[in-house]
Structure 1
Amino acid sequence: MELRDSRAGGTVGSEATIVHATPITARWWTWAGYRANATLAASMSTIAARHRPDDFGIPLRPDLTADLWRGALETVRSGLPALEQPAADQRAVRGLKFSDVLPPDLASATIAARLADLDGARRVLSEKVRFLRIG
């Protein structure tokens, strides 16, 4: 929270996370960390862009509207405590110790469980969100 407040530069504040949308890009600035953001992106796949989330936020569909955003947010919030785990990168699956003797679905599930931050994602979902459309 301290890092978010001191370095966010207008992309988020202590009172709310921010969805910043322009005519060509949209991003949810959560400052929640990669694992929480990957969990949120997987859980909100209808509005998440194909680009990978990072420590600071989640790329969203460029055609995102406030109504689409509210609908997706309500859907995921209404389904809590269940959230989707991020998809496992196949390179990580191959690098998993004993991956050659594990069934592929078990290896993928193991990596996905390690990637997920369910508590962090739930914490972000409990916060207020401001939707800002620029342009």
Structure 2
Amino acid sequence: MTGDGTDVRWWTWAGYRANATLASTLSELTDAKQRVDDASIRLRTDVTVEMWRAALTDAAERLCLPEVDERALEGLKFSEALPHALATATLAARLADLDGAASVLTEPSRFVVTPGKSR
């Protein structure tokens, strides 16, 4: 993980689905405006090493399905015929990579602050 006080990222290289699962699971640390990608998850700029370690302590036991964008529901075939909760659960399950996310959580991580910046 790297941070310079303005952009804090957890470099996972785990892929979009695993990162979406991790971002949902660690939502208390993630940037609410973030867009998940294949390589990293953007975290809040005030995340500290202590906050990071505390959040990871039991993260593997509390993996969450990713949030589903309402626009994605509109594109779902037969979306008008499905109950909203069922459509949301279906897309969240398709979007998740629980095994990939759990695997990332078993890997060691380092918290690195860019030189010249204080934390």
What SS does the aligned partner of 1:67 have?
helix
Counterpart residue type for residue 89 of structure 1: D
1:21, distance to aligned residue in structure 2 (A): 1.2
After superposing the two structures, state which structure 1 stretch, 68-77 or 26-35, moved more: 68-77
RMSD after superposition: 1.0
1:89, distance to aligned residue in structure 2 (A): 1.1
CA offset digits 1:66-118 (Å, max 9, x no partner): 111111111314xx2x4101111111111111110111011011111110000
Note if 1:47 corresponds to 2:35: no
After superposing the two structures, state which structure 1 stretch, 87-96 or 27-36, moved more: 87-96
Instruction: Summarize the alignment of residues 89-104 of structure 1 with structure 2, pairs less than 5 Å apart.
Output: 89-104=69-84
Counterpart residue type for residue 56 of structure 2: L
1:112 and 1:101 mapped to 2: Cα distance?
18
1:23, distance to aligned residue in structure 2 (A): 1.5
Greater relative contact order structure (CA < 8 Å, 6+ sep): 2
The one of 24, 32, 36 aligned to 2:6:
24
2:39 and 2:110 mapped to 1: Cα distance?
16
Counterpart residue type for residue 44 of structure 1: L
The one of 109, 117, 129 aligned to 2:97:
117
Displaced runs of 4+ in structure 1, greater than 4 A?
Answer: none
The equivalent residue for 1:108 is: 88
Normalising by structure 1, what TM-score? 0.81
Q: Where do 5+ consecutive residues of structure 1 fail to align?
A: 1-18
